[in-house]
């Protein structure tokens, strides 16, 4: 291979590597297709059973999946709790904030800790976002499992997809 071909090959290879490293700002393990993104997110939801706004290690896991706007809302919620604790230093008091016992991606009470999930369908919305419908399940011994649904609202951001909201859907009657 002559020198000019070698230089051209190195420039091409460097451009590829830099382009992949920069990408859309997401870690390599976060999928860039709506259903795959939601599937990967809910795999973490089932494993982690996070209550309230994710913090610490949980936030490190969930943040790459979430939009800047949703992360900002979560930051505000954390600031509200911190402010409440500052104003109410009594350690036995509990803030009257319902979302503290809410699974942010699944629901409240027992719904905060689903054991399985299934992507049911994806629907394109008029604003260009997508709703990825997810069926969540929590089995119980000797009784039928609890089944409920959520819709992850997926939007484009920085050339990729992110979850911008999670809608808790009404139960089937």
Q: Do the domain assignments include residue 19?
A: no
Q: Do the domain assignments include residue 22?
A: no
Question: Residue 99: what pLDDT?
Answer: 62
Q: What is the mean pLDDT of residues 106-128?
A: 91
Q: Do the domain assignments include residue 7?
A: no
Q: How far apart are CA 138 and CA 117, in angstroms?
A: 9
CATH number, domain with residue 87: 3.10.450
Structural domains of the chain, count? 1
Per the structure, the complete domain to which residue 139 belongs is given by 30-168
Question: Residue 14: what pLDDT?
Answer: 35
Question: Residue 110: what pLDDT?
Answer: 79
Q: Do the domain assignments include residue 15?
A: no
- Which position has the higher pLDDT, 32 or 99? 32
Question: Residue 100: what pLDDT?
Answer: 65
Question: Residue 26: what pLDDT?
Answer: 53
Q: Between β-strands 130-140 and 143-157, what pairing exists: parallel, antiparallel or unpaired?
A: antiparallel
pLDDT digits (tens, 9 = 90+) for 126-158: 999 999 999 999 998 999 999 999 999 999 999
pTM for this prediction: 0.78
> How distant is the alpha carbon of residue 171 from its chain centre?
22
Question: Residue 98: what pLDDT?
Answer: 63
Q: Do the domain assignments include residue 11?
A: no
Q: Residue 118 above 60 pLDDT?
A: yes
pLDDT digits (tens, 9 = 90+) for 34-81: 999 999 999 999 999 888 888 899 999 999 999 999 999 999 988 888
Of 9-13, 99-103, 124-128, 153-157, minimum mean pLDDT range = 9-13
- Which position has the higher pLDDT, 17 or 109? 109
Question: Residue 88: what pLDDT?
Answer: 87
Q: Residue 123 above 70 pLDDT?
A: yes
Find out whether 131 and 152 touch, Cβ atoms under 8 Å.
yes
What average pLDDT is seen over the chain?
81
For residue 169, which of 130, 136, 127 has the smallest C-alpha distance?
A: 136
Q: Residue 84 above 80 pLDDT?
A: yes
Q: 25: which DSSP letter?
A: S
């Amino acid at each position: 291979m002559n020198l000019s071909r070698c230089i051209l090959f190195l420039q091409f290879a460097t451009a590829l590597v830099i382009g992949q490293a920069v990408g859309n700002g997401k870690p390599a393990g976060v999928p860039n297709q709506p259903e795959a993104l939601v599937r990967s997110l809910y795999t973490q939801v089932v494993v982690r059973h996070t209550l309230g706004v994710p913090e610490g290690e949980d936030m490190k896991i969930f943040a790459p999946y979430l939009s800047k706007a949703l992360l900002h809302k979560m930051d505000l919620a954390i600031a509200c709790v911190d402010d409440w604790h500052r104003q109410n230093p009594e350690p036995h008091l509990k803030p009257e904030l319902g979302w503290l016992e809410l699974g942010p991606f699944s629901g409240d009470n027992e719904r905060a800790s689903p054991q399985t999930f299934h992507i049911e369908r994806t629907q394109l919305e008029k604003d260009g976002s997508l709703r990825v419908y997810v069926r969540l399940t929590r089995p119980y011994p000797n009784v039928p499992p609890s089944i409920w649904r959520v819709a992850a609202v997926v939007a484009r951001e920085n050339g990729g997809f992110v979850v911008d909201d999670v809608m808790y859907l009404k139960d089937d009657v």
